[in-house]
Structure 1
Amino acid sequence: MSSGSDIEALRRIGWRDADPAARVARVVAQHRAGYEVHDGHAVIPAQPDGRFLKRRIDPAERPAVGDFVVLDDAEPPTIERILPRRSTLTRAAAGERYARQIIAANIDYVLVLTGLDGDFNPRRIERYLLLIEGSGAQPVVLLTKADRTEDAEAKCAALRERLPESTPVHAINARDPASVEHLAGYLKPGDTVVLVGSSGAGKSTLTNTLMGETRMATGAVRASDSRGRHTTTHRALLPLAGGACLIDTPGMRELKLTGEESLDLFADIEELALRCRFADCAHESEPGCAVQAAIAAGELDAERWRNYVKLKGEREEQAATLEARLKQQGRAKTPGRRSGQRGRGRDEV
């Protein structure tokens, strides 16, 4: 049984459950040589139990940054087991073999960073939002480098029209503490946020501003596409002075869907398709197509429609791959039903 001071210390790094009957810590970093965990008092090295090192184990079953884990009493300790996750942000790992990769666990908000420069891409933002759907976390879109453009508010307004009303969109200057003050609502004591976005979008810059010191390296971006090099090389959980926890991640060049996402982001389009004259309408040149009529009337953005078709196809492809993998393992299930979801897709736009 932990002492009262231990429980309060754990709560400062996001613990929300009752007094644990074991030695509990939170994973703050993962390296090739092992893990770093925080017990509420200090960061200590830890090694995974041997079963986590088996070759055929699903990567999602290994400890991930943000996990609360049970340690043994050795020094340095061994991670014996992972405690139940209240939220999990995942993507399909790169490569031909299907595998899920956990980006972060036990998170409250996912801050999606996109630069208001050559990095600005609404299609990629929608892809991130699909990955976040069903994770158990709330997405927040941050348009960075607002100080470098004159049409920041116009881009914000256009993006808000395109995204669900429940998704906040903010334009910020990640270097300016005053500009990021309104993010305080997502950084309450005990909350955990994870930063995601392309290299050069400003994740490390925002991390440094929120930390009040330079903790993460930052780098220049290419003039051609406003992308940067990977200055963050691994995921890291950092406790903030105000009591929240921040997880910074390397820039993700590939955003493969897992096959389990819903398409709730495009619920309006799916509802529109139900109004077509023919049930098997391909939404191309068929008479009575409600989708094409909406595009012609300016009620549906043609580019958003194309992105929906692309993502839906990728999701279905990944869902089929996932189902075949589960059947091969002898535990087939119907994919796409987690938290009201339907299915998935693949790569970054």
Structure 2
Amino acid sequence: MGDITSLGWTPERDAELPAGCRPGRVARVDRGRLTVLTADGERHASPGPLRGDTGPAVGDWVALRGELAVAVLPRRTAFTRGAAGRTSAEQVVAANLDLVLVVDALSTAPRLRRVERYLAVAWGSGATPVVVLSKADLCADVPAAVRAVAEHALGVDVLPGSSVTGAGLDAVRALLGPGRTAAMVGPSGVGKSSLANALAGTTVAATREVRDGDGRGRHTTTARELHLLPGGGLLVDTPGMRELGLVDDDGLDTAYADVAELAAGCRFRDCAHRTEPGCAVAAAIDDGRLDPARYTAWRKLQAEARRQALRSDARARAAEHARVRAVQRAHRTQPNRVR
């Protein structure tokens, strides 16, 4: 491998590396063990007493001291999702990304609401989202499908492609220059693993057919993994996500820039966009400029982000209360305290 910059390292990170350590990029996280890419090739490391807010995720840079990863270096970007269930926990899917490839399949009609949700999370990651429409060989009218998605993916490139014929994949490869990192995200069955294999030029991910009858996908990738591509780029293949919960609303106004711009033009700042006079959103729906389903999706994701924020606040308050109670208990048990 030789040159660490081929893995995405930049000179600005030199000052972040603790003395006596060398950098490595996390390619895979298994229980109790990391697979790490270094200037000398692939290594295995154990996470030691790490300095950093969270444990290492795929795409993270870690400081290696011998066979121990002793620190997670600051993340530039991170694609995160809310954990399933009624919890405020966050899960880092992949870190230090330049691009997020939101994959949907053209074997069926594009699921626009799902694409919008992924784009909202992708914009919030700090990376640049791109929509990749896989299985283009199974679509009768690819240009029409691309136009339909592009109308709901504002400011985002929409690239059709086929891992079977290879059509359209050069446009995806062109985005992944040396040292650039992308993560493919999307539900099971949309062809992420097949795309990863096609882009890598070899089998790096197992593939399976979609289920008979309902066309829904099976989980083939079982762990996130960072792959080096022939052109020098890096690609994170991720398992299919049954749920993609929002962590916050950071990317919402970008993913729904048209709706947010309309809402900013309402007469009243606290407009609920229902029956208020001077509502620009309602006017746009009435005259056909705004798809009411898109507006409904925006409000749904706003409400979800608010609920997640409230859960996070409650969790922080509970943690602080527990800390105070622990201090009080420790104080009461001190033998020499004044009574």
Q: Scaled by the length of structure 1, what TM-score is found?
A: 0.84
Q: Aligned with 1:111: secondary structure? A: strand
The structural deviation recorded for 1:30 is 0.8
Partner residue of 2:89 out of 66, 86, 99 = 99
The equivalent residue for 1:46 is 45
CA distance in structure 2 between the aligned counterparts of 1:78 and 1:260, rounded to whole angstroms:
36
Is residue 203 from structure 1 mapped to residue 196 from structure 2 by the alignment? no
Partner of 1:30: 29
Distance 1:83 1:278, change over 3 A: closer
Partner of 2:334: none
CA contact (8 A) 1:177 1:210 kept: no
Decide which of 201, 219, 224 is 1:212's aligned counterpart.
201
Q: CA contact under 8 A between 2:223 and 2:238: conserved in structure 1?
A: yes
* Correspondence list, 1:91-170, <5 A: 91-118=81-108, 120-165=110-155, 167-170=156-159
Matched pairs, number: 315
State the one-letter code of the partner of 2:41. A
Letter in 1 for 2:294: R
58, 65, 68: which one pairs with 2:61?
68
Contact 1:260 1:319 in 2 (8 A): no
CA offset at residue 50 of structure 1? 4.1
Corresponding residue SS for 2:256: helix
1:286 Cα deviation from its structure 2 partner: 4.1
* CA pair 151-119 structure 1, distance change in 2 beyond 3 A: closer
Q: Distance in 1 between matches of 2:98 and 2:269?
A: 40
Would the alpha carbon gap of residues 279 and 109 (structure 1) be closer, same or farther in structure 2, given more than 3 Å must change? Answer: closer
Residue identity opposite 1:293 in structure 2: A
Q: Is the partner of 1:101 in helix, strand or coil? A: strand
Matches within 5 A, 1:277-316: 277-316=267-306
Q: Please show how residues 215-230 of structure 1 align to structure 2 within 5 Å.
A: 215-230=204-219
For structure 2, the 5+ residue unaligned runs are 322-339
The 3 A distance-change label for structure 1 pair 238 and 280 is closer
Question: Which region of structure 1 is more displaced relative to structure 2, 250-259 or 132-141?
Answer: 132-141
> In the alignment, what sits opposite 1:340?
none
1:288 CA drift (Å): 4.0
Q: What are the superposed Cα offsets for residues 128-161 of structure 1, whole Å, 9 maximum, x if unpaired?
A: 1111123221100001111111122112112212
Counterpart Cα distance in 1 of 2:149 and 2:320: 44
Partner of 2:333: none
> Within 2, Cα distance between the matches of 1:160 and 1:205?
23
Code of the aligned partner of 1:131: V
Unaligned runs of 5+ in 1: 1-5, 53-57, 332-349
**How many Å apart are 1:119 and its aligned residue?**
6.8
Residue 250 of structure 1 aligns with which residue?
A: 239
User: Where do 4+ consecutive residues of structure 1 move more than 6 Å?
Assistant: none
Q: TM-score, normalised by structure 2?
A: 0.86
Equivalent in the alignment of 1:343: none
159, 170, 174: which is aligned to 2:163?
A: 174
Q: Deviations over 1:13-52 (max 9, x none)?
A: 2211265652211110011242111113322221111458
Note if contact 2:110-2:145 (Cα within 8 Å) is conserved in structure 1.
Answer: no
